[in-house]
Chain A
Amino acid sequence: MSAPAATLSVRIGEVERTLPTIRTGNLGRVPLVEFIGDPEFTNAAAQAMLALIPEGTEILLTVVTNALPLTHELSDRSGLPYVCARKKRRTYMRGPMIQDVPSLSLGVAETLWLDGPHAARLAGKRVAIVQDVIVSGGTAQALAKFVVQAGGTVSGYLAAFSRGESAVRVSALHALPVSV
């Protein structure tokens, strides 16, 4: 079977983008969402995601890298602060928390690091997990473990896009197909 041009168009507010697709081992072609380098798309998504923030949320938690400008805009527009987990240990971290993510899409386990002083900002707070795209929910679950470990509670999971069946209940602007 010959495949047609493998792209996918999405629209958020007034902004439309054609998503490129990349070939992965076991899924065929999957759509690639890029907020980095695209302030217009980032801002449109952040504006639309304001409505997805669960009531009572006091702080946002995200992870580097693709969701970072998105979470910054969401934070600035909502007035809610945010905390960001890293994928590498940094020498300046003080008492970091560590969580492993069993990644299905890449077939490689990832480790997330949350610097101690940043984790302390989640204590006693209702925390919304923010990602650009939630697929299996493995990363979202690892972030949720940080929240619990830090003494906070998870108010919900939000993402610009979901793709496939996630292990967590996600509020997303759009559901992307598992493969194109």
Chain B
Amino acid sequence: MTTHTVHVGRVTRDLPIVPVAPGVSVALFNMLGDTDVTEEAGRELAKLLPPEIDVLVTPEVKALSLAHVISRESGKPYVVIRKTQKPYMVNPIAREVVSITTGKPQLLVLDGFDVPKIRGHKVAIVDDVVSSGGTLHSLRQIIEEVGGEVAAVLAVFTEGDERPEVTALGHLPLYT
């Protein structure tokens, strides 16, 4: 199997190159179940977090532990945008997005309970990989709709196109 070697802080990983759609493969970076990479990336990204940021916003699932570590290290709270609507949510706000790793439209849902944590605040979006930017675009829409200001985007990797607006620890090629 072909792999792509990456460095995250002091740790090195050989990422498998896997097809995700006809004619498209990615170097699969999955932090779920990788405690060392999550800790290393979280600590490095916490150092890069602009001091004026009030709150972190992350989409579930793969970046969840990353947001937890950045929050723990920086002392800034974090809010998770879910991919399904939960029965206990209060006035949830939902957006649809097409993700490259799922290939299908998926829902992003913000619990109304979390809105006051975002409204009037400077927000940093936290994700594992920013690729096509579809998720990022939808997250930005939801955050702005509830009165938050996206002041930074933090990711472990950008993928495909270079994205100067994203603070990342590295870049992954897209195999087409």
Interface string of B19-45 (1 = CB under 8 A from A): 011000010101011010011000000
Q: How far is the CA of A114 from the CA of B28 in the complex (A)?
A: 16
Q: Mark A60-85, 1 if CB is under 8 A from B, else 0.
A: 00001100110011011000011110
**Chain B residues whose C-beta falls within 8 Å of the C-beta of A91 in the assembled complex:** 20-21, 101-103
Q: Is the interface of A mostly helix, strand, loop or mixed?
A: mixed
The count of residues in chain B whose C-beta lies closer than 8 Å to any C-beta of chain A is 31
Interface centre among B18, B28, B64, B65 (most CB of A within 10 A): B65
Q: Is the CB of B64 within 8 A of A36?
A: yes
- A22 to B28 Cα, complex, angstroms: 38
**Cβ contact within 8 Å between B64 and A84:** no
Q: By CB atoms of chain B within 10 A, which of A20, A68, A86, A117 has the most?
A: A68
Q: How large is the interface on A (under 10, 10 to 19, 20 to 34, 35 or more residues)?
A: 20 to 34
Main SS class of interface, B: mixed
* Contact digits for B64-106, partner A, Cβ 8 Å, 1 yes 0 no: 1100110110000111101000011000000000000111000
Select one of B32, B71, B72, B101 contacting A84, CB under 8 A. Answer: B32
Roughly how many angstroms separate A121 CA and B18 CA in the complex, as a whole number?
19
- Please pick, from B30, B35, B69, B87, the residue contacting A22 in the complex, using a CB distance under 8 A: B87
User: With A and B bound together, what is the CA distance between A138 and B30 in angstroms?
Assistant: 27
The yes or no answer to A43 lying at the interface (CB within 8 A) is yes
Residues of chain B having any CB pair with chain A under 8 Å: 16, 18, 20-21, 26, 28, 30, 32-33, 35, 38-39, 60-61, 64-65, 68-69, 71-72, 77-80, 82, 87-88, 101-103, 114
Residues of A near any B CB (own CB < 8 A): 20, 22, 32, 36-37, 39, 42-43, 64-65, 68-69, 72-73, 75-76, 81-84, 86, 90-92, 94, 117-118, 121
